Amino acid sequence: MNEKVRRCLDEGERELERHKGLRKMTPDQKVAEAHVVKMMLNYNAITDFRDSGHSDWSAIAAFYALYHGLLAILAQRGYESRNQSCTFALIEELITKGELRFLTLADSREIFDRDVSTNIQHSSKILDIREVMQYSTKTDLEEQQFDKVKQRTKQIMEKIRQEIEDVIAQHQENS
């Protein structure tokens, strides 16, 4: 287990209900399914925000759609996260260990990359577009960027769905 994940688990144990880390729990398919529902609500919000004249929020909705998908993956595997960097550290560890078969490190870093060193103003990563829209004064996501964000979000969501279904299939085989 890498040091970041270990620190996140320690934080989760220390702070109990209001923890800001990772907590080991019993794998919970119902919680995973609830995160999938929220993932889909956020995905639909991508278009809803654009259609209501608030396309700057479309990139934020895309990020949170994917984030809730990752929380679903963690819930299935017996983790609760209340910290984005902890969520991504654990997801990347699961990818590196081969425990996730469809998501890649590149997919993860499309959503969250703690080693960002590129000019985010000209990046096409969901993470970078979200940060520009969230923290700048821009209020309109260009149509080309909107299409890219929505398409890439859908592609990564499909991989998340495959990861979730893979765990369900494994449980059915073992039953």
Cα of first residue to Cα of last residue in the chain, in angstroms, is 29
What pLDDT shows up at residue 115?
52
- pLDDT score of 10 more than 70: yes
What pLDDT shows up at residue 1?
84
List the structure tokens of 41.
Answer: 């609500």
- Average model confidence (pLDDT) across the chain: 89
- pLDDT score of 134 more than 90: no
What pLDDT shows up at residue 157?
97
Query: How many Å apart are CA 108 and CA 92, to the nearest integer?
Result: 7
What pLDDT shows up at residue 110?
81
Average pLDDT for 124-139: 81
Q: What is the DSSP letter of 81?
A: E
- pLDDT score of 15 more than 60: yes
- pLDDT score of 25 more than 80: yes
What pLDDT shows up at residue 114?
53
- Percent of the chain beyond pLDDT 70? 91
Name the band, by pLDDT with cuts 50, 70 and 90, for residue 73.
very high
- pLDDT score of 117 more than 50: no
pTM exceeds 0.85 = yes
- The CATH number of the domain covering residues in 26-170: 1.20.120.330
Per-domain boundaries in the chain: 26-170
Query: How many Å apart are CA 155 and CA 161, to the nearest integer?
Result: 10
Residue 156 · residue 111 · CB < 8 Å: yes
Residue 130 · residue 120 · CB < 8 Å: no
